[in-house]
Amino acid sequence: MSTVKNVLNFAAEQGAKFVSVRFTDLPGSWHHLTYPISQLTEDSFEDGFGFDASSLRGWAHIHESDMLLVPDASRFWIDPFADETTLCLIANVMEPITKDGYGLDPRSVAVRAESYLRFTGIADTAYFGPEAEFFIFDETRFHNDQYSAGFTVNSEEGHWNSGRTGGETNPNTGYHIRPKEGYVPVAPMDTLVDLRNQISNTLGDVGIDVECHHHEVATAGQCEIDFRFSNLLHTADNVMLFKYVVKNSAYIHGKTATFMPKPLYGDNGSGMHCHQSLWKDGNPLFAGDQYAGLSEMAKFYIGGLLKHAPALVAFAAPTTNSYKRLVPGFEAPVNLAYSARNRSAAVRIPMFSPSPKAKRLEFRPPDPSCNPYITFAALLMAGLDGIQNRIDPGDPLDKDIYDLPPEELANVPSLPGSLDEALTALENDHEFLLKGDVFTPKMIERWISYKREKEITPLRLRPHPLEFSMYYDI
């Protein structure tokens, strides 16, 4: 029985009334079109569904807007939040004339990256395991007017509520998490255990295997839910579904979830550390007899990541807010070094298990605001470039980078300090992404222009509330 028949049989068994066909725009948000289930046939997986791509962020111009959504039959589930039984499918965006993957479709980039990996003969599978942190707030407000701007977030866990006047329906119990002291406390300090349990159960229902969940370091509802690794494309799909489940679960419980990397001043931001390994014919390729149990291939992969890291973060830390997390001297790894166990290095080699199958690398600068398809593809391409060109990452740095004296720290290269600097790095270093037509010059140019025109320039033009505190009385 074909995979397509599996999808159609599953839809019939579940009594699906509709099918939601989902795709990802350039910045990394999910969109969908919904059809009566009768519209889904075997031909749909070849012919696709036509749609207008001209209104999507960063995509086609009005004169080239006709595109196809071609569902991938390897990933399907029932939407846990829809009142009517709805089958969900993830689609690639295709050019209607050539039937090639649309050059600006993020998922098509990931498909081409996996194809290029197999073409090189270096490996046949790249496994990715992301750790996407997030905040769950009780309330969020923000506004940006010509004459006024500001934001407010609130959580009952927040330490600022320790002096709140309570009432009969909402008493102040005194259980609040101090700044930077939110790592894995039990209830009643951790108020989100039951919600994370429910999210984990829902993730299991839609095919994502949860391995662990816990409260994270920051006050006010910072959480982490870890799920099992998979190949590059499947993991990127899972990240999109994971964010959907987290946001909707919070919403139906009267709360709000955000994957914004730095919503709170003076406390930890949310990262998305990315574990990576290459395999071939079922065998792990990153285990060996070199530093921290690595193979020579793994060291060269690290060399590629570190060499191209300034350009990579244009995708992996893709918002202006990302660089409020990536600040020297704080919790995020901005210094380009590698180390076993050292969490202050941009690349860490986890040492939890001696098993060759567990040997992997962890790239720590990414955050969950990134588009996972583009980010994972870029990381793989950087690592492959390191292997192909035997890029030596140098000696490991088995010290706390934050405690290094200035003269020693000066020898450690660092990440860009802003999104604009990262985009400049990408402009100057992207040839490695063009191999195998995985990325196209048009896609990279569109990414850079979109980020500068739609995100950097609007922020640059606006007065900031802190500027009033610093300069109003000049």
Which residues are tagged catalytic? 52, 131, 133, 216, 224, 273, 343, 362, 364
Token representation of residue 100: 């090639």
Strand partners, 396: none
> Under a CB-based contact definition with an 8 Å cutoff, are residues 245 and 134 in contact?
no
Strand partners, 90: 22, 72
> Under a CB-based contact definition with an 8 Å cutoff, are residues 457 and 352 in contact?
no
Q: What are phi and psi of 359, to 5 degrees?
A: -75, 125
Which class for 173: exposed (0-12), middle (13-18), buried (19 or more C-beta within 10 A)? exposed
Q: Is 138 helix (H, G, I), strand (E, B) or coil?
A: coil
Residue type, 416: P
Q: Is 123 helix (H, G, I), strand (E, B) or coil?
A: coil
Neighbours of 76 (CB within 10 A): 22
> Under a CB-based contact definition with an 8 Å cutoff, are residues 232 and 114 in contact?
yes
Burial 299-315 (b: 16+ CB within 10 A, else e): bbbbbbbbbbbbbbbbb
- C-alpha to C-alpha distances, 380 to 56, 184, 280, 282, 435, nearest whole angstrom: 27, 32, 15, 18, 12
Dihedral sign from CA coordinates of 267, 227, 117, 434: negative
d(CA 62, CA 54): 5
> Under a CB-based contact definition with an 8 Å cutoff, are residues 249 and 194 in contact?
no
Neighbours of 215 (CB within 10 A): 24
How many secondary structure helices (H) and strands (E) does the chain include?
A: 12, 17
d(CA 409, CA 394): 15
Residue with tokens 């919600």: 195
Token representation of residue 395: 């000696």
Q: What are phi and psi of 210, to 5 degrees?
A: -80, 135
